[in-house]
């Protein structure tokens, strides 16, 4: 997968939510900085960058009335937002050339 495709996907997703615009790029940049300090190769850092860029792809399945809600979310709405990790993993699961992207999407809210 090329960086151009990843950037295009994330631009389309982030256009749904102005509040988080640029979030994926910041996550990707910080992740790569940490990886470089940890001795990762350039190839590993490139893969990590793409995984981080795609981590919120599941937000495309969150309805706008919830994603853009200015007030506190109800418990039900919050569960819909939380489900974006599972939705993201489903979207990316057939991306055989980039299998770690599925894990990045599915587990990025784990503590």
Active site amino acids: 59
Mention every residue, 6+ apart, whose C-beta is less than 8 A from residue 48: 28, 31, 32, 35, 40
DSSP annotation of 62 reads S
Closest Cα partner for 83 from 53, 109, 101, 104?
A: 109
């Amino acid at each position: 997968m090329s960086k151009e495709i990843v950037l295009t996907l994330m631009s389309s997703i982030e256009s749904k939510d102005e509040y988080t615009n640029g979030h994926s790029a910041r996550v990707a940049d910080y992740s790569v900085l940490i990886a470089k300090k940890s001795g990762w190769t350039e190839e590993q850092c490139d893969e990590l960058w793409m995984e981080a860029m795609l981590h919120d792809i599941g937000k495309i399945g969150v309805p706008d009335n919830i994603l853009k809600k200015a007030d506190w979310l109800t418990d039900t709405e919050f569960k819909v937002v939380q489900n974006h990790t599972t939705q993201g993993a489903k979207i990316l699961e057939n991306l055989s050339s980039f299998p770690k992207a599925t894990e990045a999407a599915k587990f990025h809210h784990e503590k």
